[in-house]
Structure 1
């Protein structure tokens, strides 16, 4: 399924029983519940996204009627919004649009990419009155800098029910969490852990960019609380302004020593007592 196979998300077979679904859901819900992520706040969005996926999959597959529709039509009918209206002089109604999430990595949104998606859709009954399922490969050209929420429309490529025109198929871009960077508009934000000594005397940082370059950053300033290092033109491409990018903002998490010896305390007091604040 384009928007994510609910069976795969719950890690169960297509003939899974209600008990197997419930057991799988409880296991994954406990693993990905946001309240379980207490040690790494940077993965908060990842936990929330995974938990939402698992909950949505269970909500559909645990309901016999929803599951039957899902097995027949795929993801689309469950997320569709139908706005019906009469065509002039005819009785064919407009099935509106069908929206489906398209998950992209931050690298794909930075560099741009081409995706080929195999979709299954239901078309109008044939001469024997039976619904027919057809498969088609759709090509999507992701432009550098596109943002979460961007919509790509394929007119008439959604499911078709009796008495309705084929629905438009719309993919809505979603962004998977990144291990290092977080997007903030056109900017990229990175949290950099740094030792207290480096925060005071400076350090050379090496950072791998989303397009595979090695970025060397020389830190000369003292890292004070709330300090943010801004690297111009190293953020996300701005899709409507080719050649331009946002900024890279580096925020620091200063690691303090867990203990100091008496001699170290004396040495620090001696050294820092001559510093003008």
Structure 2
């Protein structure tokens, strides 16, 4: 059996990246060769560095999980070609420097001195202030708010210090001004640092708003595109039509449809979607989908006419909607009373 890198770092196989980093940090400081100069410690230090390099890289970790150390160092076939063998570069101090930014065996101590943690001292009790976990709030936005952007006001209640001693707290209201960029996407996090409850023994939590799209009566957003569905009768689906769309920014646009509308057909209108966050002067697409309403009944004369039209289109090389248009138009003319027909030119 090969080396178990998880065992080297004393972590579980399902450990997160943060747990891997913590395990390496603690072991690398403990076995730093500047602290322990015996050969055994140096070998352990090198093995710790190799284990961290493997498990902190998603591809190497995936290969190791499936094929073990032997497969990792031999190379294995992958979905996009052969995965080259992995070999540790043999310089664990290089790994250490990349991680800590220094070769000092007292990296933790230096970090503490350069960035000392905040201390609380309340009623002769001292301790290190720890930051509270973030507080998440959903932020529902209408497509109109997303399209134009702006500032959204949100009222929150939190414990806030009263008095200069910063010991006593009271519940107070606080209004947060949330900036909304035009086109802001769903699940975007907007962070207000340390706006949580104040307390003398801890650092306030961050307040984080997560954007969500509110349902719209006519449109659905997908990325930067707007999608709408329009009902059309079969006649217009075959002969063409002009659809009218009331846009988010209060305009009325008319889109001519000259193609035959079939199930799954989409009409794409460029630059009529939502603003693109990274490119404020550009917009996504407007995608129009159709729901075709078929007639409940067709008289035999109409069926015969359609049958003839499709037959002529077939022998003419295909189902050309121009030919069908002419056939239907000719039928309409023939149905007009001779007295009401226009005189010939």
- Aligning the two structures, in what range does the TM-score lie when normalised by the shorter sequence? 0.5 to 0.7
Deviations 1:28-55 (A, max 9, x none): xxxxxxxxxxxxxxxxxxxxxxxxxxxx
SS at match of 1:273: helix
Quick one: distance in 1 between partners of 2:205 and 2:119?
20
In the alignment, structure 1 residue 112 sits paired with structure 2 residue 142: no
Deviation at 1:142, TM superposition (A): 0.8
Q: How does 1:178-193 map to 2 (within 5 A)?
A: 178-193=216-231
Quick one: distance in 2 between partners of 1:131 and 1:114?
29
Alignment check: 8 A CA contact 1:229 1:250 kept: yes
Cα RMSD of the aligned pairs, angstroms, is: 2.3
- Where does structure 1 lack aligned partners over 5 or more consecutive residues? 1-85
In the alignment, structure 1 residue 208 sits paired with structure 2 residue 246: yes
Deviation at 1:161, TM superposition (A): 4.9
Deviations 1:225-269 (A, max 9, x none): 321111011111111112111111111111111222223222322
Deviations 1:46-72 (A, max 9, x none): xxxxxxxxxxxxxxxxxxxxxxxxxxx
Alignment check: 8 A CA contact 1:125 1:162 kept: no
Quick one: distance in 1 between partners of 2:203 and 2:160?
9
Q: Which of structures 1 and 2 has the bigger CA Rg?
A: 2
Quick one: distance in 1 between partners of 2:289 and 2:281?
25
Quick one: distance in 2 between partners of 1:116 and 1:184?
26
Partner of 1:134: 172
In the alignment, structure 1 residue 87 sits paired with structure 2 residue 117: yes
Alignment check: 8 A CA contact 1:153 1:171 kept: yes
Alignment check: 8 A CA contact 2:162 2:170 kept: yes
> Please, what TM-score do these two structures have when normalized by structure 1?
0.64
Deviation at 1:163, TM superposition (A): 2.3
Partner of 1:152: 190
SS at match of 1:107: helix
Deviation at 1:130, TM superposition (A): 6.5
> Please, what TM-score do these two structures have when normalized by structure 2?
0.52
In the alignment, structure 1 residue 122 sits paired with structure 2 residue 159: yes
- Where does structure 2 lack aligned partners over 5 or more consecutive residues? 1-115, 121-127, 320-345
Alignment check: 8 A CA contact 2:271 2:285 kept: yes
Partner of 1:265: 303
Deviation at 1:162, TM superposition (A): 6.0
Partner of 1:16: none
Alignment check: 8 A CA contact 1:124 1:160 kept: yes
Quick one: distance in 2 between partners of 1:263 and 1:171?
63
Alignment check: 8 A CA contact 2:136 2:210 kept: yes
SS at match of 1:224: coil
SS at match of 2:276: coil
Q: Which structure is higher in RCO with an 8 Å CA cutoff and minimum separation 6?
A: 1
SS at match of 1:242: strand
Deviation at 1:197, TM superposition (A): 0.6
Alignment check: 8 A CA contact 1:95 1:160 kept: no
Equivalent residue in structure 2 for 1:176, among 214, 217, 220: 214
Partner of 1:223: 261
Equivalent residue in structure 2 for 1:240, among 278, 281, 289: 278
Q: How does 1:243-254 map to 2 (within 5 A)?
A: 243-254=281-292
Q: How does 1:23-38 map to 2 (within 5 A)?
A: none
